[in-house]
Amino acid sequence: MSEPTDQKIVHIHRYEARNIMGIKHITVHPVKVGVTKIGGANGSGKSSSINSLFWAFGGKPPEEMPIRKGQTEAIVEVDLSDGLYCKRRFWIDDKGETKTELQFGRKDDTGFQKYTSPQSTLDRLMSKMPDPFEFSRLPAKEQIEMLKGLLKIDTSAIDNKKAEAFEDRKMVKKELAALEAKTRDLPEYPDAPTEELSAADLSAKLTAAHEHNAAVVEAGRQVEIAQHRVVAAKEVIDRKEGEVKELEARIDALKAELPAMREKLQEFVNMEASKASEAKTLKTVDIEELDNQFESLETVNRQVRSNKAKADARAEWKTAEAKRVALQKVIDDMDMLKKKCLSEAVASAKLPVDDLDINEEDGTMSIAGIPFSQVNTAKVMEICVALAVHGQPTLRIFRIDEGSNLDRATMASIQKLGEKYYAQFLVEVVSELEDIKNGAQGPDVFLIEGEAVDLVGDGRGRNLTREETIL
């Protein structure tokens, strides 16, 4: 047997409920399109009558017992167009537990043919939003989530990528703060050299300087020695010449010694000149400056290290800042991509509004710049109904609670929406029998103590026209 498809809209012709919550027995014939009002005084069973229909289709009943007190079984039967039939039965088993059973299929001349997967078939036929105005009552963020679900907008990949970038950016921000503190706390010495001084190099220079200075001193000492020798040699010559004068007898012997002595003298004179010339080229090294450098060595090196640490911290900060900027761009790109995705999905849904703006970041929706919560009721209703029928549900039956709060213009708008979208609305209204007797407009179905009252005698529970038709 073929299942109903989305190509054909299915309407509810009739539904009947027995012993459901506050309902004893009711039969409702909803109008084919538009509004069917379910009315009665408070506690008459209005909510239960509407709930029973949606429970029949698989809506979850309340935690408490769905069966009317004092009964052991409750049944809801629904006749739909195209020969479709649905029956939901609740009963209490031998253990006192509430059980449920669903039948869904098609009736024809050959009998009743069940669907093998009745609940999944019904789920496919039904709108995901049986109460269209539930959307308008939700907080803004929940509205956005519901809208995404109805329009089948999946931004999880975008959300995940944004979340990863957000977490990475949070870590980079912490790193930036630490680097800023590190850079701020490190002292800086503009006059310090770029590299640390080497104690070994400085020590070697100092040793070489000492050795050099010792050589200079030794050269001076050698000059003095040579000078003393010259003086001594002159004295010897003078003495010898005196002796020559005094000792004529020894002149020949002394003259024989003179050439050698003169050669020796010339050697000493040459040595004196050489040492004097060498001494003139040598200068002493300022040992005090090297000693001062030794004393300030650690201070200078500490300054060099501090400057390098500060430069490294600045470089790390720049790298981290570049990461933060890149991650921020990823987050901004994901926001733009998500906004584009949402806008395209809304546009493709062909909602009755052209300028719906969704800002998921701050959880707001607006139409032409006006917050959704401030949009006029008629426009909100049209949007809600359009969302409810989005995806072309085959069974377009919806409920509206607290219909008594709606004025005639709003009710007329709902009727027009039903005609536009081929939808049926069950609207719960508070109605008093005395008011109806006095000429007030009655509901399509009027309930008293869980039972429908025939107000006009036609068996369909229409508006009261004559007082004698009441029961």
For the chain, list residues with pLDDT below 70.
Answer: 1-7, 59-64, 244, 249, 352-354, 391-392, 454-471
Cα–Cα dist 34/468, whole Å:
29
Cα–Cα dist 79/429, whole Å:
24
What is the pLDDT at residue 426?
Answer: 93
What is the pLDDT at residue 462?
Answer: 44
Nearest to 393 by CA among 3, 17, 2, 8: 8
Element (H, E) at 262: helix 251-281
Strand order across the beta sheet in which 84-92 lies: 111-114, 98-108, 84-92, 73-80, 12-18, 25-28, 451-453, 445-448, 34-40, 424-430, 397-400
What is the pLDDT at residue 469?
Answer: 38
What is the pLDDT at residue 62?
Answer: 61
What is the pLDDT at residue 38?
Answer: 93
Cα–Cα dist 455/289, whole Å:
121
Cα–Cα dist 290/432, whole Å:
113
Using CA atoms, how far residue 116 sits from 1, 103, 265, in Å, is: 10, 9, 140
Other C-beta atoms within 10 Å of 98: how many? 15
Write the DSSP string, 354-383: S-EEEETTTTEEEETTEEGGGS-HHHHHHH
Question: How many Å is the Cα radius of gyration of the chain?
Answer: 55
Q: Considering the entire predicted model, what is its pTM?
A: 0.63
Cα–Cα dist 371/132, whole Å:
19
What is the pLDDT at residue 288?
Answer: 80
Other C-beta atoms within 10 Å of 361: how many? 11
CA dihedral (387, 389, 391, 396) in degrees, to 10, reads 150
Question: Which single residue is written with the structure tokens 């536009």?
Answer: 420
* Helix %, strand %, coil % of the chain (to 5): 55, 20, 30
- Give me 365's structure tokens: 């929706």
Other C-beta atoms within 10 Å of 172: how many? 20
